């Protein structure tokens, strides 16, 4: 089983719809992150959380929100999806001083 | 914040040749530099990392070098094989201050058999 699991793997939605991407982990890490990947732009941080009561904005948080429901679960929501949010989204986990461990991504298309 | 630049964006090499990917960073306080490999349909996976108290680190065919004065670090892959074909990302981080990672824009490596 994957240590960091993202659901769904693929999602197509229409402009204006609300959607949620989910992430769960079995690594026991306190820190969880959401990244967005676009061709030529690398990985950009959307939100991160260092424990259940902690939520922090990354460099591109506008249009997104997150919820840390438990140590093992971190969800990303798009309140009103728009086409330029079409991208590959990655969840990652880490412990302090350790590298990131990524899930296999969710490919989101907004039409 | 930190700014990481990565070159080249694409790289093609013949099987058996070496490949070198270079990154520069802007924040001299950054002290941890991981490299990730991303295969098609998968998330990035750590392949090697280096901390600022070390100038070079090797793991079989992969090596990373760090020049703190010039603020650049490089990934070296020797004796390349077709399975090395992937997208590679460098990153910089300042440990113990929130562990935020700043990524380069990626290098698509193709190893031609």
Chain B segment 36-65 residues within 8 A of A by beta carbon are: 36, 41-46, 49
Determine the average pLDDT of the residues in B88-112.
Answer: 88
Which pLDDT score is estimated for B1? 78
Is residue B101 within 8 Å of A100, Cβ to Cβ? yes
CA B78/CA B56 separation, integer angstroms: 15
Residue with tokens 């910089």: B92
Which pLDDT score is estimated for A95? 86
Which pLDDT score is estimated for A18? 96
Among B59, B64, B90, B99, most A C-beta atoms within 10 A, so best to mutate, is: B99
Is residue B35 within 8 Å of B88, Cβ to Cβ? yes
CA A111/CA B14 separation, integer angstroms: 40
**B9–A96 C-beta distance less than 8 A:** no
For the cut 70, the answer to whether the pLDDT of residue B96 exceeds it is: no
CA B11/CA B109 separation, integer angstroms: 5
**A40–B105 C-beta distance less than 8 A:** yes
Backbone CA torsion sign across B90, B94, B95, B98: negative
For the cut 90, the answer to whether the pLDDT of residue B98 exceeds it is: no
Whether the bond into B8 is cis, omega within 30 of 0: yes
* CA B25 to the chain's CA centroid: 12
Buried b (16+ CB within 10 A) or exposed e, A23-51: bbbeeebebbbbbbbeeeebbbbbbbbbe
CA A54/CA A59 separation, integer angstroms: 17
Q: Checking DSSP bridges between strand B45-51 and strand B19-25, what pairing results, if any?
A: unpaired
- Pick the range with the lowest mean pLDDT from A17-26, A49-58, B66-75, B96-105: B96-105
For the cut 60, the answer to whether the pLDDT of residue A1 exceeds it is: no
Token pair for residue B19?
């490949």
Residue with tokens 């992430």: A23
For the cut 90, the answer to whether the pLDDT of residue B95 exceeds it is: no
Is residue A66 within 8 Å of A54, Cβ to Cβ? no
For the cut 80, the answer to whether the pLDDT of residue A2 exceeds it is: no
Which pLDDT score is estimated for A93? 95
Between A and B, how many residue pairs show a Cβ–Cβ distance under 8 A? 53
Which pLDDT score is estimated for A96? 80
CA A98/CA A24 separation, integer angstroms: 19
Each residue's pLDDT tens digit, B24-83: 999 998 999 999 999 998 999 999 999 988 899 999 999 999 999 999 999 999 999 999
Determine the average pLDDT of the residues in A27-39.
Answer: 94
- CB < 8 Å to B1, chain A: 59
Nearest-by-Cβ selection for B49 from A92, A99, A104: A99
Token pair for residue B90?
């460098």
């Amino acid at each position: 089983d994957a240590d960091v699991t993202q659901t769904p793997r693929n999602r197509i939605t229409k402009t204006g719809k609300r959607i949620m991407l989910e992430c769960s982990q079995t690594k026991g890490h306190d820190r969880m992150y959401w990244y967005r990947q676009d061709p030529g732009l690398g990985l950009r941080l959307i939100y991160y959380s260092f424990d259940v009561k902690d939520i922090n904005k990354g460099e591109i948080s506008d249009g997104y929100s997150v919820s840390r429901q438990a140590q093992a679960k971190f969800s990303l929501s798009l309140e009103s999806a728009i086409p330029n949010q079409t991208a590959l989204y990655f969840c990652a986990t880490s412990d302090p001083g350790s590298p990131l461990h990524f899930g296999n991504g969710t490919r989101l298309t907004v039409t | 914040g930190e700014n990481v630049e990565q070159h080249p964006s694409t790289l093609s090499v013949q099987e058996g040749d070496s490949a070198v990917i270079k990154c520069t960073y802007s924040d001299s306080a950054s002290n941890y530099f991981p490299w990730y490999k991303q295969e098609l349909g998968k998330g990035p996976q750590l392949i090697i990392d280096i901390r600022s108290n070390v100038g070079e680190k090797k793991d079989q065919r992969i090596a990373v070098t760090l020049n703190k004065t010039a603020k650049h670090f490089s990934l070296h892959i020797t004796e390349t094989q077709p399975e090395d074909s992937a997208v590679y990302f460098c990153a910089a981080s300042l440990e113990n201050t929130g562990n935020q990672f700043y990524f380069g824009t990626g290098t698509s490596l193709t190893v031609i058999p």
